[in-house]
Structure 1
Amino acid sequence: MHLHWLKPLLGRPAPFVTVHLDASPAEVAGESGPVDRWRSVRRDLERDGAPAAILDELGERIARPDGRRDAHGRALVADADGVVVDRVLQAAPATSSGSYGPVPALAPVVRASEESVGVLVVAVDRTGADLRWAGAEDSESRGPVTETVDGGHDDVRKVREGGLEKRGQTRAEDSWQRNAEAVAAALDKRVREKRPDLVVLTGDVRMVPLVRDALDQHARELVVEVSGGGRGDGIHEAAFRARVDEAVSAYRAKRRSAYVERFREARGRGEGAVSGFDDVVDVLRRGQVDELIVGAGSLAGRVLWVGPGELQVASSRSDLTSIGVVDGEVRQMPADVAVMRAVIGQDAGVTFVDDDDDELLDGIGATLRWADESTPSESVPSQSGDYRRLRAGL
């Protein structure tokens, strides 16, 4: 998962206000909504000394309806000049929180974003389709959450009276096909523009395959068919959402598995991947990382040394001064922020795995874009127990 949406933070001056908010709408009258949750977070930020003007701007952003009716989260980061990042997250945090300090509190936000899947739900019938977006997108560029596609051909009923039966069937089926093609054309365009991770296709059992077959290859590869949805009344929304959640979970697991398998294959060849905290920091500094593979808690409590540049990151101060970073520009930073800063700076991706994954020394590894003779390397232990001994320093 790439973190391009965090790029606006690079080079910004401290301090930062970071908000990780449950932005789910209130389901019943009297229940707390996002504005109420924000008030509680704001009180904590005020006690920490966050400027009132920035908190006012954050509050204005949060008060604007985001068009989402389902449970979801929101991540916002601001500096002295205003809100820099405003991101909708597919999953709502268990607890809304905020922080004010010299660096943005990115760990929970990045983890929540890595879990997110951009989903386009397409409910079709014989006259057109409703397109509904779900998942993480920048609130500034998200656009409408729902839109309707009108197929344009309304002769969709088969006639079953006397000699008109065959002609009526043909005309109706022709209208279905043309409407399916119109929906597919609109869907192809939205996929190119918005690049969803997954397209859920549901609705009329005759129209679903017609629309799918009319899509271009790229959009068709993103499609998963899920039964139970539709445009009309009588849809069991809870059951349909559960099926969509299953499809999203399967996609998320497949995506994560693909990155991990690529890492394992590269390590098995003895090239194209590194594992272990110091070696990963080394390749991050050299701009070699394609995908960071990291245990969810492996960076907790660690610190790194950084310079003014995003890739100026090291395990010790001397490592930075030895490559020409002026001593006065070197500072310590929490490892989770420093590592993500370097990942963003080289347009790499991030995949989270279980902390006890035996493939990862120190709970962290990376696949590489390139390697040379000076790239860190390690012998590949043949048994999982060897990984544990190496991790323990035995």
Structure 2
Amino acid sequence: MADKTTSPGRRPGIDAHRVEFTGSGGEYFRVWIVNVLLSVLTVGFYTPFARRRTAQYFYGHTLVADSPLEFTAQQRKMVIGFVLLVVLYATFKTASRTGQDTVASLMLLGAAALAPWLWGSAMRFRFNATRWRGVRLQFTAGWGEVYRASWPLFVMALAWAAAVLLSAALVPQGLSPAAHRRALAPVLLAASGGALLVSLWCLMRLEYNYKSLMVLRGRIGGQPGRWKPVFGDFVRIWLATLGVFLLTVLVIAALFAVALGGSFALLPKLRGMGMLAILVGIAIGLASVLLLFLASAPARAYREARIFQLVWNNIGVSQVARFRCGLQARRYVGLRIRNVLLTILSLGFFRPFAVVSEYRMKSESVTLHVKGGLDQLAGQLAREEQGLGDAIADAVGLGLVG
């Protein structure tokens, strides 16, 4: 139920409505298992239908001030967008596998140039497909704004291109193939390290640019969004995430070493044991990948929780509504670790229960604060929307990415 109590620190005339999620893991499991089975039977072509069913389930069970969200996307647009992406991907793979390197390279360059357009199209499509109390959301950013916000993508591409060119330029010519490889390795490693650092910084900036653009150019009933975070807030969260990751790696490595004990002393004895040595090597490789995934899970959950909290504590709808978020990163990280372990132990069948529990914790941590009463807000949004045409919503490209 909506919380309409007035706390001592709240100004009179401001109502608080906590977001509710009424779904359950058992209900979503039935949606999920049907989606999985039909996607397998149709070799993936059921994906747009599965995505629409999933979105409708979560939207329909998310109550904002006792009113559910609605997902009204047209299935036809989602299918067309999915088929187009499949065709483009198949064309690229065919070109790369048949030695048409020029065509493949041009397609990669085209994909990089189109990436901001694809993101903007996806945002317009998803915003326009979302309604609350009959009032729809809109994403009104122009293509110039989208491409200006996407500049970190192009810096990233230039950084990696420069790394390759610099590596080739710094290695002396006329060396034998073996000597050339030995000389190239450290240079390429150093250049790649630099490009990786630039890419990390660009990813932080890109996330900030896109989230701020989504809020500032988002509209509900004609009312613009309000955005307070600065780029430094995102940098601090990313650096803290790196710290959590390194700490987790150290803890897992220590536990792994203790668990194996003296088993490492047996590794040199496997060199002359043929197939057994190969199997042990494969097992160690798979275990390393699994441990890396497990090590990254707490860090990814920590970053997700901190960014969610930062954004929802600092956005609003014009001057008439704002949000507050009480999500605790520690609790969310604990939930993610539990869900990962149970998903592995259940061979993936716990996944829908994990998704529901994480969505519930995040959504129910958000509270909507409305100035002047909810009915007044809803009426104002509905009246202002009547003056808006659907030209933006039906512009070219909206259905490309569902």
TM-score tier by shorter-chain length is: under 0.3
Choose between structure 1 and 2: higher strand proportion: 1
Higher RCO (C-alpha under 8 Å, 6+ residues apart): 2
- TM-score normalised to the size of structure 2? 0.27
Choose between structure 1 and 2: higher helix proportion: 2
